[in-house]
Structure 1
Amino acid sequence: MKKNIVLVVALLSVVFVNAQAFIGNTDNKFQVGANFQDNGTGINVTYDYGIGENISIGLASTYLLSVEEAIDADFGDRIDVRARFSANLGNVINVDENFDVYPGLSLGLKNFGGHLGLRYFFSSGFGIYSELNAPFAKYNSDTLTPAEKLHNQFTVSFGASFNI
């Protein structure tokens, strides 16, 4: 019985640890998760660095591990790397200090696009995220091959978020 009480107190203390989704200047966020899109699934990794109260810049990369067999996709078709800019609006909409909404723009190897992300921190170092990405302008204006369409479409990612 004593062990159960200690366990419950420990779990509750973790829930009530002061966590903040975005603290502003010099904030560092690292996220890793799964990426889903038509004809492929893969790994999504992002890093964001706070340069202002509500502004961050960073990098994002996606590598598709599973691609439909009919698509002849080589390494260059499977990977995308993007520089990104985000407006972290968690403290503006003021839902919860552990919650952040971050719309933004990205410039990558395949296109110019945008993203809309949500993240929630359970503790000072760990949270979850979900992100939607969409291309606004593709670099290749011709008809795209199935392999070229892999990173030139709407994608959804979700996974773990870390303060570093």
Structure 2
Amino acid sequence: MKKVITLLFLTLFGITQAQQAFKGKGDIKVNVGANIQDGGSGIQGSVDFGLAENFSYGFVGSYLLGVNEFSGFYNGSETPYNNVKPDFKDRFDAKFRINANIGNVFNVDEKLDIYPGLSLGLKNFGGHVGGRYLFTEGFGVFTELGFPIAKYSDDNDMFDHLNNQFTFSLGASFNL
């Protein structure tokens, strides 16, 4: 409980001590980093374009490089699988997304941008919550948590879960 209270205090302190990195219309942010999830890890890249004071749209793509192989019987099948790896279509995902850039709502550090949003992708409809901190005018770090809301598949494919689960991403952010 002590750790939870300390974490909440640090989070609230960080939020109250800042303003915002997102400039609104015409702002362009590019993120490149690692994608970490159950069953694999890979790379993620995204670009966001400012439309208004607190609204942006963009695109995100991810590709899983390290993916666990599957061996055994899948979904009650009598056919055994040995060291099966996912195809390109199972490893890749692309999404269109919208963000609510709310750093200024919390009145946080001008170098911090907080953005929840929704995404419509090749594999699912989902959401994300992210943040980026710019050390200079053009460079910083980002982190994002992504999650599916509605999956497009019926989970009959051995690797459907790869792009239909909770993900964690972190990496470098660039202000163009």
Common fold, TM-score beyond 0.5? yes
Q: Give the TM-score of the pair, scaled to structure 1.
A: 0.85
Two-structure CA RMSD over aligned residues (Å): 1.3
What is the distance in 2 between the residues matched to 1:145 and 1:62?
A: 19
* Mapping for residues 1-164 of structure 1, pairs under 5 Å: 21-70=21-70, 71-140=84-153, 142-164=154-176
Write the distance in 2 (CA, Å) between the matches of 1:124 and 1:85.
23
Tell me the CA shift for residue 21 of structure 1.
Answer: 1.5
Deviation at 1:151, TM superposition (A): 0.5
How much does 1:144 deviate? 4.2
Partners of 1:144 and 1:38 in 2: how far apart? 18
- 1:122 is aligned with what amino acid? F
- CA gap of 1:154–1:144, structure 2 versus 1, over 3 A, is farther
Unaligned runs of 5+ in 2: 1-19, 71-83
Task: Give the Cα–Cα distance (whole angstroms) in 1 for the partners of residues 157 and 99 of structure 2.
Answer: 30
> Normalization by structure 2: what TM-score?
0.80
- 1:85 is aligned with what amino acid? I
Secondary structure of 2:105's aligned partner: helix
Q: Secondary structure at the match of 1:149?
A: helix
Residues 5-43 of structure 1: CA distance to partner in whole angstroms, max 9, x if unpaired?
Answer: xxxxxxxxxxxxxxx621000000000000001110000
Deviations 1:101-152 (A, max 9, x none): 1000000000000000011110000010000000000011x23434111010
Q: Counterpart of 1:5? A: none
Contact in 1 for aligned 2:33/2:171 (Cα 8 Å): yes
Extract unaligned runs of 5+ from structure 1: 1-19
| Same amino acid, percent of matched pairs | 56
Larger deviation: 85-94 or 66-75?
Answer: 66-75
1: distance between equivalents of 2:155 and 2:138? 44
